[in-house]
Amino acid sequence: MEKLAGELQISLKQVESAVALLDEGNTIPFIARYRKEATGSLDDQVLRQLSERLTYLRNFEKRQDEIRTAIAAQEKLTPELEKALENAKTLTELEDIYRPFRPKRKTRASVAREKELEPLAAWILSQQQGDPAQQAAIYLSEEKGITTPEQALAGAQDILAEDISDNAEIRKELRSFAYRTGLLVSKATNPDENSVYENYYDFSEPLHKVAGHRILAIERGEREGFLRASISVDQNLAISALQKKFCKNTTPAASLLAEACADSFTRLIFPAIERDIRAQLSEEASEGAIRLFSENLRQLLLQPPVKNAVTMGFDPAFRTGCKIAVVDGTGKVLDTTVVYPTVPHKDIAGAKKTLVALIRKYHVDVIAIGNGTASRESEQFVAEMLREIPEKVSYVIVSEAGASVYSASKLGAEEFPQFDVSLRSAISIARRLQDPLAELVKIDPKAIGVGQYQHDMPQKQLGEALDGVVEACVNGVGVDLNTASQPLLARVSGINSAVAQNIVTYREENGRFLDRKQLKKVPKLGAKAFEQCAGFLRITDGDSILDSTGVHPESYSAAKELLAACGYTMQDIGQQSLSELRERAEKAGIPALAEKLGIGVPTLRDIIEELMKPGRDPRDELPPPLLRTDVMELKDLKPGMELKGTVRNVIDFGAFVDIGVHQDGLVHISQISDRFIRHPLDAVKVGDVVTVWVLSVDPVKKRISLTMKKPR
């Protein structure tokens, strides 16, 4: 517990309370939102870190006990070993300690031990005066296959090399030396072959400096056969340090020991250290990439919804035609069609006629264009069409990552059995503009392309991290119990996929929910699940207005008493008259009021916020997406041109910004801010609408370089 408190820089009491709540089966969103008094208001991200580290440390302690038991079973557990096990900080250190006691496969040293050469190894290690050949002659044996003194001495050196290699302290020192002084080196397997990995054909960088995205790129280049990577260290320096540690004089025996040290490092220690360090680099790079992916996903899911807008979803394509779906302000499908404005058909007149008719029939407010194949051509067509009509319609480019996955999925077929797979994509594109969160939860988070090298990550770890982000976003926003889909309900605290389906089935059979307490009638939704989920599920126009807020049912009586204490009634919720609630509560004294109501101060403050803005959506406070009415081409861009754009992806070395020319421009980290930033995420996030200036354009490679620093 002390270790967790130190690592996370929170109090021991906070750690103990959070661990107790997690062990009782409470979810992280529930603890973060409704158990603030117990945890000192720890947010969901800190709680998730705490939960992950708790699992790691418990696994660490379990392995510690396993190793202790295994060494004790060999009757070799000394007080020194016990202390070393207690002081070990990482799993690598534990395994180093256990190495000499681990059952070994056949090695050169084990063969030499079978030949009973350990006393000769001990003699060499003692570095006494004397002729090694004479000493070795004692161990000659036809039966054991030792026919010369040289064979006996070589076997003894093998034993020494393995013993040196098995020394945990030496491994730790040499691993540290390699990490401090070593280089990550990559070379081309075929220098004449063109590939995206050409930057790494002759690359080297100090291990402690190499960036995570470079490590992942090199690893992918290795897997694809373009690169060979290795760790380079000054082996002579390492061997010399090892020899100084063991060789105490200049006897012939010391000379043999020096050879054993060199063999131990080059044959046994360094290959293992290289594997360890590369695994560590890979793990750290993956963790960094997962954090980046998670943060990008969080921002994408929390994009402001375009509410109550009749939306036309436009899924671009060439040969098969552009799929169109019109949905009303609630996401209900009104109409679908296919038009052919792009090559090879180029039926621009026919497509315009069809779409203008739909715009007028359904009073379309906005067109959502998918950003995939034929997006640029479709955007030009739409912009031209909108210039020709009097209706005020704008368009926006929407990421269609994962739309095809959804449209071909079992869920897509269940939601829209009457529509073809391709038309489901157009529906998804329209609806993800209206409510990105509700639509994107239907797709595996790994299929939403907002990261780096997501396919190279440890998939279990990536999946858990992204699921945690989706869970946090869904519960942070809240879910309408009467309209939410099964996938959205399944992301609510305390509800699994089966219970989510039971809620939908109950709703279909019994009509809309009028009261949160009705949830208790849903099959398999027990008391614990109700406690965990109730506060995150909203009911509008139900029996109680409190059901439309984030106030948990366990605090309803406190909410009513609060209103009465401040001179209000339940009828005032949602009315302008309640705008003074916070002021009146402050006047009465928040701590005194909390004590009187039998709740904590954080809970009281949360209740006040919820009552003042019932059913509020935190996404409404964010800037809306950038709607366009016109389009440019790459050739229209000139250095120095000022543009507005939307951040589509944030990566370790910069951010990609959509400026309306189909090709996203790159703002390098050095061009994001006038102040120093360690990472692009310190200054921008996915969905931000930013002002940029064009630095340069490469029409051949279709590369746009942008800056967010205003030209002087």
- What's the 3-state SS for 125-191? HHCCCCCHHHHHHCCCECCCCECCHHHHHHHHHHHHHHHHHCCHHHHHHHHHHHHHHCEEEEEECCC
* Domain stop point among 466, 497, 523: 466
Residues 108, 537: Cα–Cα separation, whole Å: 66
* Domain stop point among 621, 642, 662: 621
Quick one: CA dihedral 668, 672, 674, 675, positive or negative?
A: negative
DSSP string covering 412-427, please? HHHH-TTS-HHHHHHH
pLDDT for 452 equals 64
With bands split at pLDDT 50, 70 and 90, how would you rate the model's confidence at 444?
A: confident
pLDDT for 626 equals 77
CATH number (domain holding residue 682):
2.40.50.140
> What's the pLDDT tens digit per position in 17-43?
999 999 999 999 999 999 999 999 999
Instruction: Tell me, yes or no, whether 538 lies in a domain.
Output: yes
CB neighbour burial string for 178-199, b if at least 16 within 10 angstroms, e if fewer: bbeebbbbbebeeeeeebebee
The CA distances from residue 569 to 266, 378, 575, 600, 601, in Å, are: 80, 55, 11, 22, 21
Tell me: do 239 and 139 sit in the same domain.
yes
Residues 624, 239: Cα–Cα separation, whole Å: 62
Residues 273, 179: Cα–Cα separation, whole Å: 9
Contact indicator for 485, 415 with CB cutoff of 8 Å:
yes
Instruction: Tell me, yes or no, whether 96 lies in a domain.
Output: yes
| pLDDT, mean of residues 407-432 | 92
Tell me: do 593 and 651 sit in the same domain.
no
Q: What is the 3-state secondary structure (H, E, C) of 290-315?
A: HHHHHHHHHHHHCCCCCCCCCEEEEE
Q: pTM to 2 decimals? A: 0.83
Instruction: Tell me, yes or no, whether 243 lies in a domain.
Output: yes
Tell me: do 378 and 457 sit in the same domain.
yes
Tell me: do 328 and 454 sit in the same domain.
yes
CATH number (domain holding residue 425):
3.30.420.140
* Domain stop point among 80, 101, 122: 101
| pLDDT, mean of residues 401-407 | 84
pLDDT for 94 equals 94
Instruction: Tell me, yes or no, whether 25 lies in a domain.
Output: yes
pLDDT for 522 equals 98
Tell me: do 66 and 146 sit in the same domain.
no
DSSP string covering 519-553, please? GGGSTT--HHHHHHHGGGEE-TTSS-GGGGSS--G
Strands 479-480 and 537-538: parallel
For the chain, the domain total comes to: 5
With bands split at pLDDT 50, 70 and 90, how would you rate the model's confidence at 451?
A: low
The CA distances from residue 380 to 101, 632, 701, in Å, are: 70, 8, 21
Contact indicator for 64, 85 with CB cutoff of 8 Å:
yes
Residues 6+ apart with CB under 8 A from 429: 313, 314, 315, 325, 368, 369, 370, 398, 400, 403
Which candidate, 137, 133, 126, places its Cα nearest to that of 160?
A: 126
Tell me: do 665 and 526 sit in the same domain.
no
Strands 366-370 and 394-398: parallel
Tell me: do 533 and 606 sit in the same domain.
yes
Residues 368, 356: Cα–Cα separation, whole Å: 15
CATH number (domain holding residue 80):
1.10.10.650
Tell me: do 143 and 265 sit in the same domain.
yes
Look at the chain and count its residues.
Answer: 712
Residues 547, 424: Cα–Cα separation, whole Å: 33
With bands split at pLDDT 50, 70 and 90, how would you rate the model's confidence at 459?
A: confident
CATH number (domain holding residue 134):
1.10.3500.10
Residues 195, 214: Cα–Cα separation, whole Å: 15
CATH number (domain holding residue 611):
1.10.150.310
Strands 642-651 and 537-538: unpaired
| Mean of all residue pLDDT scores within the chain | 93
Domain extent for 537 = 506-621
Contact indicator for 351, 340 with CB cutoff of 8 Å:
yes
Q: Is residue 632 over pLDDT 80? A: no
- Apex 515 CA angle, 511 and 521, nearest 5: 70
Instruction: Tell me, yes or no, whether 655 lies in a domain.
Output: yes
Q: Is residue 631 over pLDDT 80? A: no
Residues 217, 653: Cα–Cα separation, whole Å: 13
| pLDDT, mean of residues 179-208 | 96
Tell me: do 412 and 321 sit in the same domain.
yes
Instruction: Tell me, yes or no, whether 653 lies in a domain.
Output: yes
The CA distances from residue 458 to 210, 464, 474, 651, in Å, are: 20, 10, 24, 18
Q: Tell me the HSE value of 369 on the side-chain side, using a 13 A CA sphere.
A: 27
- In angstroms and rounded to an integer, the radius of gyration of the C-alpha atoms of the chain is 33
Instruction: Tell me, yes or no, whether 215 lies in a domain.
Output: no
Tell me: do 326 and 365 sit in the same domain.
yes
Element (H, E) at 666: strand 665-668
> What's the pLDDT tens digit per position in 230-239?
999 999 999 9
Tell me: do 536 and 563 sit in the same domain.
yes
Determine phi and psi for 511, rounding to 5 degrees: 85, 180
Angle separating helix axes 590-597 and 581-588, nearest 10 degrees:
90
Tell me: do 68 and 136 sit in the same domain.
no
Q: What's CA 168's distance to the chain center, in Å?
A: 34
With bands split at pLDDT 50, 70 and 90, how would you rate the model's confidence at 267?
A: very high
